[in-house]
Structure 1
């Protein structure tokens, strides 16, 4: 995290709306890309990203710099997603299915090859998909992921292992 980001955070914490706007604009693409992969639903990802930005504006004073600002945003976004899934489990499952179809259609309609890995990821539970993404795509450690998702690091390890096992199985079956 560059000095410019730290300075913008400090200014935002002191109520500087322009600094807050720049911070959010700079971090939105990263956050949105994470949420697309975590939710497999572009509209839900956009909604959660916006909710995360609102929560960030409300809670900027609590950011203490212990983790990277982007990690702090992912933590907020992940918790919002988990809360959303708890409240609307059936609706979220339906939206995920529609979202996967929508993502696939967007890729295919533009003659972009559908990634076998992304397809296999879509078959994992959201709990496994989030831990696999955070560990192997974003490079966070088990303890960091546990803190982000508010679960023990042992649970993170088992979800990552189960998710990777499922991914290997799906990808191997596709190659047969």
Structure 2
């Protein structure tokens, strides 16, 4: 349905809004067209006041007229005027669009903050890990070369005590002693309790 606005807002030829709604409820397309021509400008104006965006206002106005077509049978003339019913629908639909838009913006903002926080946390974690690795390497240098070699093979190389013993061609007990003594010195040097 394409929007077009009639210049005369209340130019009803022979029918009132209430009569037109009753005919629309019966599926009368000519009555719907006449109703549309009569009230579209007012509906659009109200929606535009709420949304402040012409393209969204046109879209919402079209949705309102689809609602009028499908819900015309629900109109009760005893409860109020047709124009009031139409404008109430328009206002509700426009407010719903504002709320949906705000919810979408809030959701996007939350996701953006979450992604920023995750990336910030990743960077912070990487920096912290790099700084800790540097501290450990500086502390390792203070150990004897035998202790350094045994610890590097066991902790950085991933070798078992038995494998370190075989690589260094020394007894397993000696490997364990070098690693234990080196770790004690590292703990003291790094201030770890």
TM-score range, shorter chain: 0.3 to 0.5
Say which one has the larger Rg: 2
Give the TM-score taking structure 2 as reference length.
0.43
